[in-house]
Amino acid sequence: MAQPHAIEALALGLMGTALVLLTLALSVVPQRLAQRPASAGVILLRLDSRGQLRLWNHAVAPQQLTAVLKRLAQQRSDLRLRLVSDPQVPWGAVQQLVARLDSGPLPLELQLP
């Protein structure tokens, strides 16, 4: 017959393993979800409340944006551009940027906050 201490140790070991797996899942899953748009051919362009543009979490100057998008479109033909703006961004600023991007080299999607 198994010792009570051995059963407790086994239970604690299984619980510890489960906690380690849960912690690993909680750290890996958000990263995988964040990478999914890039692997699906979606380029995320974020417009923050200060008017700064971030392309895949890298700041990009508005003057450089068209050239960067052209380069990306030449590398891969199935790319789409998704514009995501912060809720604090005035709608007029979003409309101006959409007008500039709509005539660009990539199809444009707008993700509302």
12-42, pLDDT tens digit by residue?
999 999 999 999 888 887 776 665 655 667 8
Taking the complete model, does pTM exceed 0.75, yes or no? no
- Identify whether residues 62 and 102 lie together within a single domain: yes
Number of compact structural domains in the chain: 2
- Identify whether residues 76 and 108 lie together within a single domain: yes
Looking at the DSSP assignment, which residues form a beta bridge with residue 83? 45, 110
- Identify whether residues 11 and 47 lie together within a single domain: no
What does each C-alpha distance from 87 to 4, 34, 50, 68, 69 come to in angstroms?
58, 20, 11, 25, 24
- Identify whether residues 10 and 54 lie together within a single domain: no
- Name, in order, each residue with C-beta under 8 angstroms of 104's C-beta and a sequence gap of 6 or more: 66, 69, 70, 81
- Name, in order, each residue with C-beta under 8 angstroms of 102's C-beta and a sequence gap of 6 or more: 108
- Identify whether residues 1 and 31 lie together within a single domain: yes
Domain enclosing residue 88, as ranges:
41-113
- Identify whether residues 35 and 58 lie together within a single domain: no
